[in-house]
Amino acid sequence: MLARKYLLSGIARCGLCHTKIRGQANRKWKPGSKAAKFTYQCSVVNGGCGKVGRVGEPVDEVIIGLVLAEQRERAAITAAAPAEQWPKAAELAAVEADLAELTQAAKAQKITVSTLPLLLPDLERRRDELKLERGRFNKERHQAQSVSAGIGEDFRSLPIERPRR
């Protein structure tokens, strides 16, 4: 993968000719100066019209702000969507109770030990499926809560190749 130096290089397009624009460093820029550090240009070299250019930093800030706002909105929807409690908790409890009952019945010799292996596998499989489902539910809920709390905190410190993914 080619590393990109500018956030929108190769993604944004010229409004006139629809060619991909590219970031271009300002050679006259020096630290502390008011000049633009870089610009986004429609490049004649790349088959564009060469008529459109924008200062890079404010464009990047607007795009980053829009992306973070969308991510916060998605996280808020995701965090609000799941119920507070896993919806199949009662079903799991019933399956676990059935398993305990069968085990107790075998210990009390109400059923034969030879019939126990016939009855247990389906219940154990269902129990395991439900536990896996509960784990996924809790993981999604936890991720939604942690994402909504931390969106954007470290985004600007990431290298450009990372925010583009």
Tell me the whole-structure pTM to 2 decimals. 0.51
d(CA 7, CA 160): 6
pLDDT higher than threshold 80 for residue 153: no
CA 92 to chain CA centroid, Å, is 29
8 Å CB contact between 21 and 4: no
CA 98 to chain CA centroid, Å, is 38
Other Cβ atoms within 10 Å of 47 Cβ, number: 11
Burial 67-101 (b: 16+ CB within 10 A, else e): eeeeeeeebeebbeeeeeebeeeeebeebeeebee
Give 42's contacts (C-beta < 8 A, 6+ positions apart): 14, 16, 17, 19, 21, 48, 49, 50, 51, 52, 53
pLDDT at 51: 92
Q: CA quadruple 6, 8, 12, 15: dihedral positive or negative? A: negative
The 10s digit of each residue's pLDDT in 110-133 is: 888 888 888 899 999 999 999 999
Q: Is 84 helix (H, G, I), strand (E, B) or coil?
A: coil
pLDDT at 151: 61
